[in-house]
Amino acid sequence: MLDTHIAIWAVEDNPRLSQAARTLILDPSATLYVGVVSLWEIAIKHSLGRGPEAMPMSAGDAQRFFEASGFVILPVASAHVLALESLPRHHDDPFDRLLVATALTEPYRLVTHDARLAAYGPLVTVV
């Protein structure tokens, strides 16, 4: 499961995407998930109009790019939301917390660039 920035950087072929992330993403045996929560994050940040550095694409464009790249869009389930109640507060960003809760519930490995998320355990891979 890719966090929002990793997914965006992957479809943009952004140089900020690490070689480790590229290797994971290009692995033909991997199923790559992007949570609906990432589309929600993109929609909110894009609508704030803080420029392309803050959010380089709309949620609609992101969804099209993600699907064209073969990413599976993972819906938010009630189990993901309920897992938030017991999730330690290592991080306060609501989008990241829901991504972590989703990854832990499924369970899927969460690939992120945010080192603070490593505190959530071995299912979080910082690249």
The per-residue pLDDT for range 35-83, each reduced to its tens digit, is 999 999 999 998 888 766 778 799 999 999 999 999 999 999 999 999 9
Burial of 18 from C-beta contacts in 10 A (0-12 / 13-18 / 19+): middle
Q: What is the pLDDT of residue 55?
A: 80
Q: What is the mean pLDDT of the chain?
A: 94
CATH 3.40.50.1010 fits 4-126, yes or no: yes
Does residue 121 carry a pLDDT above 70? yes
For 75, what's the count of Cα atoms within 13 Å in the CB-facing half-sphere?
3
Pairing of strands 33-35, 124-126: unpaired
Check: CB of residue 21 under 8 Å from CB of residue 127: yes
